[in-house]
Copies of this chain bind each other. A is one copy, B any other.
Amino acid sequence: MRYSNDAPAVITLTSGPVNAYPEVLLGLARPVLYDYDPAFQSFYERVVDKAQTAMRLTNKPVIQQGEPVLGLEAAAASLITPADTVLNLASGVYGKGFGYWALRYTSNVLEIEVPYNEAITPEAVAEMLKAHPEISVVCACHHDTPSGTINPIAEIGALVAAHGAYLIVDAVSSFGGMDVHPEACHADIFVTGPNKCLGGAPGLTLLGVSERAWEKMKANQAAPRASMLSIVDWENAWSRDKPFPFTPSVAEINGLDAALDLYLSEGPEAVWARHDLTARAARAGLKAMGLSLWAASEEIASPTTTAVRTPEGIDEGALRQAARERYGVVFSAGRGETAGKLTRIGHMGPTAQPIYAIAALTAYAGAVNALGGAVKTGEGIDAAMAVIDAAA
């Protein structure tokens, strides 16, 4: 049998959007309240409070009404001014891309770029900061999803803080799946969203904003206002007593509420542990099958996405298509420079469960073999199971 492309897949193991938890799907279906109904306004405040708890913030986070690309663009537009010198850290397609946004707002953009299967080292950052005392804003992508690699954001953040610069962190696809939080990494603007490791729906951004970032943005006359891109307009929108700048996406807020409840009730540490274990099982299995991880070293491989280097002679698109049509399993492709070179297996939210690593390994190996490869599937499963069982 073959699965039609028009039929739903059986298991979606992408690096986002991932399917939402059942509780979140039902959260999305709650009645749509009028945004100025006091019952909605107090509900919204409670959701912000839960996000604050999840993000381990000492002040209120901002919920922006669009997927995290909005938060990233808005952060650049709001925080960066022509007077700033920006250091952009590029270890992948997303980190690289942020530099272009930075360039819209200042012409002074420095960059550290490493091959897209490596991570930025704290040493390189320290050196650059020393060489360029004028750096006032640093931009870092914590998990560069198209590469499945993690940058050492805590160390980088400490250096940036010591330097006195502002730090913008893209943690869209890592927050909720591992131990990364705005204040712990000294982020001034920390961008994430509900649709990756929180197992929510795409359509919202969660922003952690430091007090000094609020001051800088509010002082920036060019920061977007009366605009979809505005952050500053939303400073007090969390309060049940304050108006919304425009209508929030009520259904998405309902869904976010459910996602945060799940995250907090399962316990963040437990959630991270199953992301980590699933990824470790996947990596062990791939290696045992003779396949290569994209990441230059396992230390920088993400616990929320495993990027596999496409074997020689195999077409990556054909590989994903084979996995879908033979086994009903959907993976993510690379993006930009990594497109065609790797396949991404997501471990996010509801799919961060070791048994899904088994399904992923089997479908991936089966697809390779269907295209003429000679991967030993069973050996991979045995290796993955050894990892899973070791944790039991």
Contact = CB atoms under 8 A, between A and B. Distances in A.
Interface string A24-54: 0110111111111111001000000000000
A381 to B, nearest CB: 5
A55 B379 CA distance: 44
A365 B2 CA distance: 27
A18 interface: yes
Contacts of A324: 37-38
Nearest to A9: B37
Given A29-B25, A327-B354, A6 B42 contact: yes
Given A39-B7, A228-B228, A250 B12 contact: no
Contact of A377 (B325, B370, B378): B378
Contacts of A32: 17-20, 25, 195, 201-202
Nearest to A276: B1
A338 to B, nearest CB: 14
Given A1-B277, A250-B201, A11 B362 contact: no
A202 B100 contact: no
B6 A38 contact: yes
Contacts of A325: 392
How many copies are assembled? 4
A87 B244 CA distance: 29
Interface string A215-237: 00000000000111100000000
Contact of A247 (B35, B67, B378): B67
Contacts of A250: 17, 201-203
Contacts of A246: 67, 69
Interface residues of A, number: 96
Contact of A249 (B8, B67, B366, B392): B67
A357 to B, nearest CB: 10
A382 B366 CA distance: 10
A326 interface: yes
Contacts of A42: 5-6
Pick the most buried of A35, A37, A195, A324: most chain B CB atoms within 10 A of its CB. Answer: A37
B36 A31 contact: no
A157 interface: no
A255 B201 CA distance: 12
Given A32-B25, A362-B358, A378-B378, A66 B65 contact: yes
Interface string A268-290: 00100110010000000000000
A36 B332 contact: yes
Nearest to A326: B392
Interface in A284-332: 324-330, 332
Nearest to A278: B1
A24 to B, nearest CB: 8
A362 B355 contact: yes
A391 interface: yes
Interface string A179-190: 000000000000
A30 B201 CA distance: 11
A133 interface: no
Interface of A: 1-2, 5-12, 14, 16-20, 22-23, 25-26, 28-39, 42, 65-67, 69-70, 73-74, 100-101, 195, 201-203, 226-229, 246-252, 255, 266, 270, 273-274, 277, 324-330, 332-333, 353-356, 358-359, 362-363, 365-366, 369-370, 376-382, 385, 388-389, 391-392
13 contacts: A5-B38, A7-B266, A10-B356, A16-B247, A28-B251, A36-B332, A67-B249, A202-B247, A203-B251, A358-B359, A366-B388, A377-B385, A378-B381
